[in-house]
Chain A
């Protein structure tokens, strides 16, 4: 054990609790009595979920007209919410897979948490491509299935690729998450207080016994899936960005979009992780598992991606001007900064690029309050960025005769709030039913950092 590993371990796992202590602390979250706070949160989220289902039912029964969309702004909150949620869903896999491959040890205590967030965010996102269709009951036409009519999706359009990318991402994320969960489910099975729970966790644990053979297979599969998930992190939002980039619309028509979207997704994803983890850490008293070192690392990533996003904004505006194209110039130099929705442009810049500059300060990076506030702002800003792209670009395109304002309806707002509630509901369930800090991995990290000879590591 080297001094640096020891120091890192002290930072990541203060007090170096033993295996039993870790198990006791982290597995107990599933069996503690329900608190009033949790019940209240669950009730609120449940109510919002019902609101979401009601709004969805209304939309499907009556039509997309229940939303504020119009011609020219044929895409509105539906697509904004889709891109926003899918962006949030990026941080999980980024933290789990990419940081795992890069052997960033600090990821270990938060990866389960972020993977859960990813899944639940992708579930929210997945609602929208379905829901925004005029005839959602035909959504399966987006997939290449052998139909009697011999018709296939049109592969020049980005949307079939989008459907494929999102569903692949969701599948791999589920597998990755579940695979990591298996040892902990087995631990829960072994400690289950009731027979019912033991059977349920036993089934979910897939017969895990913790043998060396099983551990070996587990590790291989886990790394393989991490390797598979890594390109997906980059591809899914790149493909989502093509929904815009393949068009000719000023404000959408840009080769910058794939990396720009990925950076924005990671920024919003990390912000959402912070929004969720800070309260959880406080409520469950996990200051030893989620330490200032973790917060510091995430704040730095927020700062970096915020700069990438700012760079993209500047590049977009510059290219708009440099193209000499009158429509691009109008979009970037007139419409966005000074049009109907100028407030959203400036608010977006303030949230995504100005507020994050606080993180140049180490003190701010380690202050939960500041982190939480800035993370909320970044989530708002990233939503506005998608609003900027979708609504503001469409509201004034080529023929001034067609220009028109977009105003959301109460159904739009209901669906947005409803997905927040549904997301929260799933998350609260997740917090109750499985250990959200990976116990086995944490123990493993402690063991590795404590005992592994330094020269054996790359």
Chain B
């Protein structure tokens, strides 16, 4: 580990000036002159950086080491491989051997390194804000132990860790009166309840989309909001890679109210209010079971369906009926190779119906199966809202933030504050910490030892990348202390517990791999309990309101746990491209009905009849494609704790969450007449008939010559007076190029975050984003096509296209941007004087300018990638194709005296992409994916008519819609 020490600024110790010898005088004078020289170099770091005295054998300065570990969210692990530079974790990539990652990462995973170095993390044990000693905690826990757990309530985040479970069981045995609650606001509950309804047991649904030919997602954001989202995105994309018009493609239906990444890649998208999903599920069940598959339609169902239909309001639009019929037809045709998936904010009955449909289609055991829940006691009362109630004498909140992220009518902040003795263990001085008496700094995932299970049950070891930065304690340490049995070290505790709970599984081997192969939970044999299900179906579809609210986790900050992470706040939310805020997403028609436009503030109100105020004033943001008469509001904002970045941003959606109304309540919206400027990164969504984001259907690609010709026109050579780029390419160096597949891109923004993390792009803040000065080198453009009634969002990752005839290069007066021999458009930061002429002449507007000194000099800078220069004020910057990775691969290849492997260089965006929509490689290598993709009939260049000959090509967005039923 690199060591630093504070600069010695004491006056030299030595003889007093009155007794100064001539020799000593010259020594001091010389030192003074040298110090003056150092003082002149004011940009030098204020600290000395010392080399290793004894260099660890595995460390080469400048070459990162990689360790497998995992990030855990609501109990579900996602495997990561973390790069560590001399003991400093700097970047996460997915662990290809982990089933929940398959090598990809989510945006919020990428940002975890920034949270690790968050200077605002809780730093010391406090007693009502005053620093306290660990002995005070020992006393508190000893007192609770002495009472045998009487009046003790422990609130944990849902956990799947075998090691924590062992401790919980020991606490339960030792202190039988202690009550445990597990709380995370968006933990899956409805799925388990639904499966209990349909199958008789609270089981967890598992999906395998690799063989799914037809997928119906009912309010289910399979590719972005699911513990297995990365795997789902990969599996769906693998079935939708279009090589030419004869490629096989799955068919994806999305039924949803907000515009999710799953909706973006769907072939058919039905925008409906959240409550309508129930009705659609019932109709789908009716249609599928009517297809005459043997034994698929028990008599009990007929009566239930008839009852549900009879009570329901008159039929929805004919469009819905046609789509439902088409869904049923495609599901039926792909029986055994189809999936009906349901999102967790839907009520249990929809999950139950989906289980029944999957069973009726014969999908069980193929694309869909069920396992015991991987989260400890999931589906049991300890996970319910009611488990949070009670008046404990000693309250231990070990993680999470229930004072903020819970139904507002519980009044948990007050309840926690009422507890005579309370302790909060967590990363931040958040709302819950402020309600508790004692606060103990917690451990970041990258600081701790442990284990967790992936959604499919795969056991995933967790190892620290760095010593705890702020004297944090683990959940296990608190539980051990509660038992009066403090472990020797975290490592020893973990190793011993692992040996006890997972005998025969080599801990070190598991750590090296990051997952225990074959440890996924076995499928449980199930039978649909039609008789239990029938009454629920009969009652389904009755929920309805003139205006419905969906409280959804924010795709990046989730339930507020990451709201202090500026990377995630500045990452444009995919559907609205909003940064630094949350807003009520609604459709243009609903906005017109309310008489509001983007930025106008409405007061949302949920009727509850309790003493709490369920009103939130939020700005409106119009999202074309959102369901009418519905509002989506992201949680995680309106934070009121001690985190200075998070505090005061947006409005808390949890104020509208009541135990009665749930996460999708009826709501009223009243325009307040005031306005808030929203920092949206893209304000114009019309393509203006320009050749930018091209697309069509698979049918067109196969049969429509005009369509293929149009695509070919967007890549074939243009008449030019200029000499073409030198070619044919020499064998060496490589000619780098990128290919981006718009068919599989979901617009999830994982690549944007990965790019920012890899390339040290700064955060600029809301005010700067409002003036269009965000610094992301890679952005996701989002256009809207289709009709006003059926808008279709088209997403397009846009970054430096590395034009062979680059317009930016010839206008630079100082040659700060030039072309490399291997086809990169390079920026020489030292030479740039900041005329910004290059940006003006860039038709893609992908260049970014350091308008101010945006460098972050806080602890955050430890997350910087040491391989990438941090840019100065006044300098232009842009995507480099991750040139540092290219050069690293070149060096490695030269040392080993070999050529660079075909897929050896992976850009950060490419590595992060769960759908593998980004390909990178050399055009001189005919085996490379980019070379192959360039030969496909739907490969094209954006703004080809500008003659820029971009090295980045796109594969047109191909959809596979079914013929109307």
Contacts and interface: CB of A to CB of B under 8 A. Distances in A.
B849 A71 contact: yes
Interface stretch (B305-313, B457-465, B734-742, B805-813): B805-813
Contacts of A246: 810-811
B686 interface: yes
B813 A153 contact: yes
A259 interface: no
Contacts of A252: 840
A341 interface: no
Interface in B523-549: none
B833 A139 contact: yes
A154 B812 contact: yes
B810 A74 contact: no
A334 B305 CA distance: 56
Interface in A239-277: 243, 246-249, 252
B850 A63 contact: yes
Contacts of B781: 399, 401
B813 A159 contact: yes
B875 A134 contact: yes
B790 to A, nearest CB: 20
A241 B683 CA distance: 31
A326 interface: yes
A404 B681 CA distance: 9
A330 interface: yes
Interface in A26-69: 62-65, 68-69
Contacts of A134: 832-836, 849-850, 873-876
Nearest to B841: A247
Contact of A247 (B687, B768, B840, B844): B840
Nearest to B873: A63
B946 interface: yes
B874 A64 contact: yes
B836 A75 contact: yes
The CB with the most chain B CB atoms within 10 A, among A156, A394, A401, is that of A401
Contacts of A247: 807, 811, 837, 840-841
Contacts of A64: 834, 849, 851, 874
A66 B65 CA distance: 42
B835 A133 contact: yes
A138 B811 contact: no
A71 B839 contact: yes
B500 interface: no
A151 B813 CA distance: 11
A141 B833 CA distance: 8
Contacts of B834: 64, 133-135
Given A71-B772, A248-B807, A399-B845, A141 B688 contact: no
A401 B684 contact: yes
B44 interface: no
A141 B874 CA distance: 15
Interface residues of A, number: 50
B287 interface: no
Contacts of B779: 401
B381 interface: no
Contact of B772 (A70, A133, A248): A70
Contacts of A158: 811, 813
Given A160-B813, A248-B807, A400-B783, A74 B684 contact: no
Contacts of B796: 401
A319 interface: no
Contacts of B684: 396, 400-401, 403
Range class of the B interface residue count = 35 or more
A132 B834 CA distance: 8
A330 B690 CA distance: 11
B362 to A, nearest CB: 45
A133 B812 contact: no
Given A330-B688, A399-B845, A133 B840 contact: no
B773 A141 contact: no
Interface in B809-828: 810-815
Is chain A's binding surface mostly helix, strand, loop or mixed? Answer: loop
A316 interface: no
A249 B810 CA distance: 14
Contact of B851 (A63, A160, A396, A397): A63
B135 interface: no
Contacts of A399: 690, 692, 781, 798, 843-845, 942-943
Contact of A69 (B682, B844, B851): B851
Contacts of A62: 852
A127 interface: no
Nearest to A163: B813
Contacts of A400: 684-688, 690, 692, 783
Contacts of B853: 63
B875 A135 contact: yes
B671 to A, nearest CB: 24
B848 interface: yes
A248 B848 contact: no
B782 interface: yes
A398 interface: yes
A134 B683 CA distance: 27
Nearest to B779: A401
Interface string B762-787: 00000010011100000101110000
B813 to A, nearest CB: 4
Contacts of B686: 400
A160 B833 CA distance: 13
Contacts of B836: 69, 74-75, 132, 134
Contact of B874 (A133, A163, A401): A133
Interface string A69-112: 11110110000000000000000000000000000000000000
Contacts of A405: 683
B813 A154 contact: yes
Contact of A75 (B685, B833, B840, B873): B840
A157 B798 contact: no
Contacts of B850: 63, 134
Interface in A383-407: 394, 396-405, 407
A376 interface: no
B473 interface: no
B165 to A, nearest CB: 49
Nearest to B811: A157
A65 B852 contact: yes
B831 interface: yes
Nearest to B946: A248
Interface string A145-157: 0000001011011
Nearest to B943: A398
A142 interface: yes
A154 B844 contact: no
Residue of B682, B796, B798 with highest tally of chain A CB at under 10 A:
B682
A403 B872 CA distance: 26
B857 interface: no
Contact of B840 (A249, A330, A407): A249
Given A135-B874, A399-B798, A401-B781, A142 B839 contact: no
Contacts of A156: 810-811
Given A156-B810, A248-B946, A401 B782 contact: yes
A410 B128 CA distance: 45
B101 to A, nearest CB: 30
B847 interface: yes
B689 interface: yes
Given A135-B833, A154-B813, A159-B837, 12 more contacts: A64-B834, A75-B836, A134-B836, A154-B815, A156-B810, A157-B813, A159-B835, A247-B837, A399-B843, A400-B690, A403-B684, A407-B771
13 contacts: A63-B874, A72-B839, A75-B836, A135-B834, A151-B815, A159-B837, A160-B813, A247-B811, A247-B840, A248-B946, A399-B942, A402-B844, A403-B683
What 10 A-B pairs are tightest by C-beta distance, nearest first? A134-B834, A134-B874, A65-B851, A159-B813, A402-B845, A401-B781, A74-B836, A70-B772, A135-B874, A398-B843
